[in-house]
Amino acid sequence: MSDTATFNLLNRLDETFTYIDTVLKGTGKSIGHNGENATGSAETQSQNNVLVHCQVGMSRSAAVVMAYLMKKKGWTFEYSYKFLKEKRSMVTEKSFGEQLREYQDILGIETETHRVQY
């Protein structure tokens, strides 16, 4: 995934979300970025966590997590960004903010919707 505003993040979301959901539900194996088995210990597997990462952890991985929150929780881009920024202060919307706002429109999320507390 390229960290540029011209990279079409939206085209990769469905396959990425399928992978995340599979691991969170405990129905699949964790696979490392090179395709190697990355399941780790039985204790790690039972927690059903997913690490979404990129080289620096401020743009690409953050955009994927924000998009996931938007789709799964119905959160607006702004709310998802604020939530993630509180967890990881270096998160930026610089490269993918415009695409995520477009994704919000695609999902039909109204900007004044009721927001669930996190």
Residue numbers annotated as active site:
54
Distance CA 42, CA 90 (A): 32
Distance CA 38, CA 108 (A): 36
Closest CA to 30 of 47, 9, 11: 47
Do 84 and 117 contact (CB within 8 A), yes or no? no
